Amino acid sequence: MMNQYQSKRQLMVEIQIIRRGIKDRRVINAMLKVPRHLFVDEALWPEAYEDHPLPIGEKQTISQPYIVALMSELLELTGKEKVLEIGTGSGYQCAVLAELADQVFSVERIPSIAKRARKIFDQLKYSNVMIHIGDGTLGWKEHSPYDGIIVTAAAPRPPTALLEQLAISGRLVIPIGDEFSQDLIVFTREEKNKYAEENYGGCRFVKLIGEQGWRE
């Protein structure tokens, strides 16, 4: 059974990831390793490696594989970093980050989703992941500053709390826009109050709910 999913994963990486321009070998290897099917309901396993998001309950989704790879690559991780993820969701993006960074701190606002993700992390023995249940728009100040912050939901503007919790030279990868369409933006903290901004094109995410995001 596992061989079946390994071959599907290999095909996913070759067609959806490498051919679309992802070049970071560490990201490619992480995408080859993390078993995406385990992060969705068993009924969806046959679709787990296809080129689209999938529902995970509570009106949330697991992101398209290419988007996970792209956002991971944009963090420019070497393996020594401390990373903050906003929106644990299925846990798939977080697992990829756990392969790429030294420590991953993840914030999820829905307790049932956080609990399910934690169970999968324990099953896969990701001991470098910590999950906090709370308002992701406020970050997780206790463990800041972060070398990278990744946001898996769309905000109308970059939350101030997240910008402030970036280390100097740290990168914030976040979808910015309205509830129907967004652009994937990278903010790099150059100095205490100076951020460079790069736009990596259109994307589509669920809304980031919270004090510094969208209201429910």
DSSP code string of 114-156: HHHHHHHHHHTT-TTEEEEES-GGG--GGG--EEEEEESSBBS
Q: Decide if 9 contacts 49 (C-beta within 8 A).
A: yes
The verdict on whether 63 is a catalytic residue reads: yes
Contact yes or no for 109/136 (Cβ under 8 A): yes
How far apart are alpha carbons 149 and 192 in whole angstroms?
A: 16
Contacts of 213 (CB under 8 A, 6+ apart): 136, 137, 153, 155, 156, 159, 207
**H-assigned helices in the chain:** 2-12, 25-33, 65-74, 92-100, 111-123, 160-164
**Bond from prior residue into 46 cis (ω within 30 degrees of 0):** no
- Catalytic residue, candidates 7, 63, 112, 144: 63
**Which phi and psi angles does 172 have, rounded to 5°?**
-105, 120
Q: Which residues have C-beta within 8 Å of that of residue 199, sequence separation ≥ 6?
A: 183, 184, 185
Active site residues: 63
